[in-house]
Structure 1
Amino acid sequence: MKRTLFSLLMSFAFINAFAQIPAGYYDGTAGLTGSTLKTKLKQIITNGHVDNGYGGLWGAYQTTDRDNIAQSGYENDNTILDIYSENPNGTDPYTYNYPTGQCGNYSGEGDCYNREHIVPQSLFNEAPPMVSDIHFIRPTDGKVNGIRSNYPFGKVGTASYTSQNGSKLGNSVSPGYSGTVFEPIDAFKGDVARMILYFVTRYESQLSGFTTGNMLGGSAFPGLQTWELNQLLAWHAADPVSATEIKRNDKSYTYQGNRNPYIDHPEYVNQIWGTPIVDTQAPTAPTNLAASNPTSNTISLSWTASTDNIGVAAYDIYKDGTFYAAVTGTTATVSGLNPSTTYNFYVIAKDAAGNTSTASNTASGTTLAGGQPGGSCGTEDFSNIPANSSGYSIRTWTGNNISWTATDARTDQTVNGKAITIQNGYLTNTTTATGGIQSLTATTQLKFSGSSNSLNVEINGTLVGTIPYSSTIGTFTINNINVSGNVVIKITNPVSGNRVAIDDLSWTCYSTLGTAENSGNKEGFTVYPNPVKNNELFVKGENLNTISKAQIFDFSGKLIQIIENPFKNSNKINLKGLTKGNYILATDSFSTKFVVE
């Protein structure tokens, strides 16, 4: 027996018949709207919330997520109710019986089920109590959970993966967002919406410290990015609260001590967020697009901002008629280009509702001949530093069209000529360098007294390695930095009292083609299977768990995916539905090519 029209019409009656809302639970909400109501609900559902731990979820699913309500319209067979495999219109493709079937390893659908964070746990760094909050963590098929990964929920245009119950991964056609999204089947879209709305209410005061994941907002209200909020509001309206949701809310309250208010009172959703804003007006076209500052593999772009009745959300950059990247500002550096080649660019503005402008003017740019991609990208020999001084203070200068600042620095020491000497400070460029960075080289020497140690090197705020120093002059290189686009270098002396002279700083441009030839096999790292099967890439090598970041690029140099701490729990990378083609995996320890069939 599946969900019928009658059961849908009766869903509102079920709310009153089945909900076991404690008397007075929502006291103090009468007359409130907007952010005030949302904050009041946050207070209510925070009180009484008991964190039973991540492992406790397995036992909780015995009562919270079982298909055992006759009025649900599902099988009522007491199996685990999995929103990624339940088929409301026919036989389920597979089922799981409690308590067996918990993941475990899987290779396909139907192998096992695990704990799916509807709001990805990576967004809040797996911290409690979020990591074990049953109101947004559902038991779902392991394979489909892995395919969904940490993508936001939205409407899919062209699916790269479709599960056996019709859940899909693919490009977004939700207005205002064009990235990859995951779309559940219609029967559970309202369930997903209300779980996410619960999350941004329960944890509204912490949202500013979470990663957005292209879904969460950075402030307590509204708590979600505009495109995601509008999509969830539409799903909430189209898929009303069901008997199974009410039962799950009651059982979750028994287990955890708090409730999802948007299941108990669906009307709260509109009282807080209203209805989606209908925006049909497109932005004006960007103007004055110009190409400048070419290197052998990069060209910088700038343009005059568009205007919009509500606001411009992003600009899409096109290179020779093909989409290259989306940016939020009015400048960009296009990387991964070939030397001595002319490229044509135009830019299109879009707003949060997905309305797009007409194209800007076309700007042409020609890369320099120079060396091959990955060649020299910048140098600083410190010949332009301020006049000799033995005092320690802030020093500023410009060399090779890049401005520099050194803090707690003196200028009277030499290494291979003039050098900047840092005591308790740092050296950084205050105008960005273009062309990315593949490797960085510097010559160092410890001056006066102290002990040997290392300088910390950050690129765009991320630590990428260290440069040693001692009383003997030495030249050192950090390889495989592999950062594209604009670059800010920061070299910090972390040891108080040591005075370290830096000279002959240089770095190479970033090139995926160049790094791809530095095959991981030479360093003892291998990837398999290659070509990749089932969007799962495995890596073999020593000390994998020490790798801090992995990046995936296509052969045009476009960054496709970033994975922080990729091998923290396994040696597998989920490629999130990559289309067929050639790609490059680059980490802080190795880089190599792979193929997706």
Structure 2
Amino acid sequence: MTRILFSLLFSFAFVNAFAQIPTGYYNGTTGLTGAALKSKLNQIITNGHIDHGYGGLWTGYQTTDRDYYYENDGTILDIYSENPNGTDPYNFTYSTNQCGSYNVEGNCYNREHIVPQSLFNEALPMRSDIHFIRATDGKVNGMRSNYPYGKVGSASFTSLNGSKLGTSISPGYSGIVFEPIDAFKGDVARMILYFVTRYETQLSGFSTGNMLGGSAFPGLQTWELNQLLAWNTLDPVSPAEIGRNNASYTYQGNRNPYIDHPEYVDQIWGTPVIDTQAPTAPSNLTANNPTSNSISLSWTASTDNIGVTGYDIYFSNGTFYATVTGTTATVQGLAPSTSYTFYVIAKDAAGNSSTQSNTATETTLAGQPGGGSCGTEDFSNIPAAASSYVTQTWTNNGITWNATDARTDQSIVDNSNNKAITIRNGNLTSSTLSGGIQSLTVTAALKFTGSSSNLNVEINGVQVGTIPYTSTSTTPVTINNINVSGNVIIKITNPTTGNRVAIDDLSWTCYSGSLATTETSKEKAFSVYPNPVKNHELFVKGENISKISKAEIIDLSGKLIQVIHNPFKNSNKIELKTLSKGVYLLKTDISTTKFIVE
């Protein structure tokens, strides 16, 4: 939603909000710092705290989590879907959209414990403390699971407002983390700092969850504390936080002191060190060991005053390929007999980027056009064997995989490494892959009880086939003629509730064929992007497009969906009508090409 411009009214609202702090509420804090100030605040915010129970949160959200700050329409203010600078992808109505079941973003909202309730064994009053429990989208809440908050390097999941799940590049921690958008990083930091203050005397009995510190002071693990202090500085207290704090006080009887007095953060934990120094550029980049669809890269590591957290690999035209943590990588999904040039950029945890490395060029070997292995996944890098069904994330060969409602302790007989990922009521999803996809092969087997059924396979959100499975078969199954070019995302879903299906030995072949059909001469051809389409906007690039007199959008059944006269007279963009997921044709008087709607 578009942020409301406050100008002079902002100053008045800010002062008015602070005037609502009860007189004398923070008596006794003057002159205190460090652990002593934190303990005094613990006493203050423990007194008066009224526990309304877990179900009471729904009542609390009627006043605490409503949007009167961005679109100002009273819908639920969800930090996982709010777009502070544009149109929200969806909205929730307070009284009608409570979860409930969910499958995708926008189905419903539920209660997100910013500090996971599993860490304190779902005990009260923590389980129902509204100061750190937000109303958020159910799907994104589920993807966040019980992971700590941190800076994401390679993302396995990105919500529609840009919140991310993936591998941490926060210094000191390399596990899986969840990263909210910049506009709400300070909100998250101050909620967690509230938690370790309000419950400091109980922290020693809580699980750490790779975030809590297990002692009253400082209350957090060093890496998480450093990250939250940086976010607290990056994203200062907002009018929305002040309003929520006041409403939470009315509902629950205590306040978040770090919203009322942001200076307390530095007085207790110190001022964070802000890293503004970029890493040095990677050097000695070389490209070698070409196959018909891959090229290997290696380079000399960069240096940094704090530490390099990753390297972004780019094609010479500026197209991003992947982020890796080491100094070698294999770029897959390339076309045969084609020359490619690459460069690499180093990054640190603060987001500082180096200048680019030298470039390196290599040519892929000859191979079958539109074929050849593009990539494989043998599940050798999945998390350690565990029987619990949670979100599992790992990276292999520069590809990040995300498996929801999955366990890691099962295998398929005679597989290559005795490892497989087992999906219950979830899915296996790749990060974005280059090189397109022509065919896909995978082995699947039913584990435990259940009945034979099928897995659904989607490419860029469009189902392209199914993979049958039984409890006895270990034969690989191939889906042919998928034929999607460009960037793709593979998603394998188990739609049969209760069946637990092991997946192994996944591979796919590339597809370098064009999506265009019967194009005319090269100088008249054009390309479309992004493909799949985002936000109902289709862009066209090519020579002489301004001379096109008419464009038509047609579905694959031949039905005419939309007609645009002189479509590129003033811009290269077509505003599409709302289209369901699928493949469509853009037909003009010089060419016809396919595009995908997710």
TM-score, normalised via structure 2 length: 0.50
Instruction: Compare CA radii of gyration and give the structure with the larger one.
Output: 1
